[in-house]
Amino acid sequence: MSCALVLLLAVPSSAGAHAVLETTTPPWGAVVGATPRQITLEYDEDVVPQYARVAVVTAGGQDLAGPVRVAGNLVVVPLRRGRAGSYTVRWKMVASNDGHVTEGAFSFGVRAKPLPPAAASGVGVPVAPELLAWLQFLGVVLAGGTLTFRALVSAPAARVLGDSGARDAPLAIWVGVAGATLALHAGLFAFLVGAYPIVGGGLLNVVNTQIIPIRVGTHLGQAWTLMTFAWLGVLALLVGAWVAPRKREVLLASAGIASLGIAFGISWASHPASRGTLALMADYAHLVAGALWVGGVVALAILAGVVRPLSRSAREALILACLLRFSNLAVPSVLVLALAGSYIAVRELPAPSALLTSGYGITLLAKAIVFTGAVALGGYHQRSVVPRIEAGAPVASIRRTLALEVGLLLLALALAATLSQSAPPR
């Protein structure tokens, strides 16, 4: 158990695919001898042509920019002839992957020193995207990780011990419903937050014709459309599990596996998706492995609470059987987390020093510190709590530490959500 967490420390979460301006012609702060015929902006990924906005403004407030041309990640803007002086370039783009808006400004001079760009006002984002990302992760953990863990670990362990395995089924259904509902609504609001600075407005803009290019032309819009119907399907499976007890276990397992499949949409709209198929699959594998781990801890905490009506010997046998099965699940999780995490880290971090010199790296270190506490608790479970339960100690001793571990992992998910909305250092 603790080994999987140790490796998780080194795995950066998927970063939001915001379009980052990499190079410009003329360069930032350059002084040129005459007004250039055009300026070029090169981003680290493709942008949506319909929403590419560039203004090239003189010190007197005149905009010299012509019609914007977009070819993948390259934006070309022809300029009308101007006088000597400082020129400010203001741009606003929509990333083709996550559909989020990025904007910025830089200056160059024509036979004069360029002035720093003045601050510009714009449409504010109404909801923190980090919160929405955290809710999406939490939804995948609850609906995908917890239900799949239950199907692989706790339900089979209960059947081996002569129990039907359905004792925690009603609570598992509600946990799955909560997770699917969270992920469904967080995905909707994340999509609207991404489009908000372009089209403005509120929920009604989901059907606004202005938003169609984002819905169909970005990974975020495509993922949101498909994930919406898929999460509704998961909710239908959970309703079926409630009304059809005889098929409950199959329906719960199907809902869990389907939820992990839906999580591919999160990776599809993430930064690694712009790095190629291998980076995309590594990010998805990392997300699934993390959901199984965190969901497993949540499932164990739930199970430790619902076994109270059982006899002491039955409680101990069931908890111990689940812990042993959980440990067996850790081996493939370790391999997946190690390989996927190493690959993503190499692709996203330009150098080890970025851990201390960038906001992305510092957040990653904070996440590592939180997971260190979870590692300590995992080791405590294996080396102290499990032997004590085998010797006759009450199951209540593990309920307390599991609750603490759940709290640490929820905090780690919050840090992972922050990473998912941060562009990796360059």
Give tens-digit pLDDT for 117-126. 875 544 444 4
**54 or 210, higher pLDDT:** 54
The DSSP bridge pattern shows strands 21-25 and 38-43 to be antiparallel
Distance CA 288, CA 81 (A): 55
Q: Is 350 helix (H, G, I), strand (E, B) or coil?
A: coil
**Close Cβ partners of 352 (under 8 Å, ≥ 6 residues apart):** none
Distance CA 64, CA 232 (A): 49
Q: Choose one of 110, 137, 172: the last residue of a domain.
A: 110
Please state at what angle helix 169-199 crosses helix 129-140, rounded to 10 degrees.
Answer: 150
> Out of 162-166, 171-175, 223-227, 238-242, which region has the weakest mean confidence (pLDDT)?
162-166
Q: Residue 242: pLDDT band by 50, 70, 90 thresholds?
A: very high
Q: What are the Cα distances from residue 317, in Å, to 158, 171, 184, 304, 393?
A: 9, 21, 37, 12, 12
Q: Residue 12: pLDDT band by 50, 70, 90 thresholds?
A: very low
Longest dimension (CA), the chain: 88
Same domain for 390 and 279 = yes
**414 or 182, higher pLDDT:** 182
Q: Residue 181: pLDDT band by 50, 70, 90 thresholds?
A: very high
**Close Cβ partners of 121 (under 8 Å, ≥ 6 residues apart):** none
Same domain for 404 and 304 = yes
**153 or 95, higher pLDDT:** 153
Residue 64, domain extent: 21-110
pLDDT attached to residue 10: 34
Same domain for 59 and 104 = yes
Distance CA 233, CA 229 (A): 6
Domain count, the chain: 2
From the centroid of its chain, how far is CA 84?
Answer: 47
pLDDT attached to residue 102: 78
pLDDT attached to residue 6: 36
Same domain for 220 and 72 = no
Q: Residue 109: pLDDT band by 50, 70, 90 thresholds?
A: very high
Same domain for 171 and 150 = yes
Q: Is residue 74 scored above 70 in pLDDT?
A: yes
pLDDT digits (tens, 9 = 90+) for 40-71: 999 888 888 888 889 999 988 899 999 999 99
Same domain for 97 and 135 = no
Same domain for 396 and 265 = yes
pLDDT attached to residue 126: 45
Is the bond leading into 424 cis (omega within 30 degrees of zero)?
Answer: no
pTM: 0.74
Same domain for 305 and 397 = yes
Q: What are the Cα distances from residue 79, in Å, to 58, 66, 109, 246, 419?
A: 11, 6, 14, 71, 38
Please count the CA atoms within 13 angstroms of the CA of 218 that sit on its side-chain side. Answer: 35
pLDDT attached to residue 191: 75
From the centroid of its chain, how far is CA 101?
Answer: 17
For residue 392, what is the DSSP state? T
